[in-house]
Amino acid sequence: MSVTLRNRLIGLLLAAAIFAVDQYVKWLMVGPLRLREVGVIELIPFFDLRWTQNFGVSLGMFTADSMEMRWILVGVTSLIALGVFIWILREKVLGEIGALALILGGALGNIRDRYNLGYVIDYADLHFGTFRPFLIFNVADAAITIGVVIILARSLFLREKQPEPNDDETAHTPAET
């Protein structure tokens, strides 16, 4: 098996694992923890489990307030997930594939919620008093965010170095005057 194929398989397994963990934690929130009925479970002074039904995407934008909008969001996010999947199949470097896998796994988890429920289950509430640095989120949201940050960081800080000219090439270049 080639290194590229191995990296892609690792990426697809990571995406599947993120999807599975996201769905399992959401099942815990709905089932055994009964968060929907309880509303809030205070864990520590700055982190609670808080039931939220997110009808929008990305910071609550593009709220699906009708059946048509719900299915448009399912379709658009599914197309984006398909694009990320194709991107994974074109990448070779494990760092890029891993970041894309985080995005794909998270996207699939949220797409499944929106398809089955009409909304995404959010529950993780990080807060410092009344200050909330993030909206209430879930494992899928965290994976997507981390994946995007990794891709941005890699594109900004890990640029490919231009090959250095060898001695023969520099010997034949005219001197500047």
Q: Which residues does the annotation mark as catalytic? A: 122, 141
Looking up tokens 């009925």 gives 37
Residue ranges in 31-138 assigned as alpha helix (H): 35-38, 67-90, 94-117
| Cα–Cα distance measured from residue 54 to residue 175, given in angstroms and rounded to the nearest whole number | 65
**Contact at 8 Å (CB) between 25 and 112?**
no
Per the structure block, which two tokens stand in for 94?
């494990």
The tokens describing 61, both together, are 């934008």
Distance CA 85, CA 123 (A): 27
Do 59 and 72 touch, CB atoms closer than 8 A? no
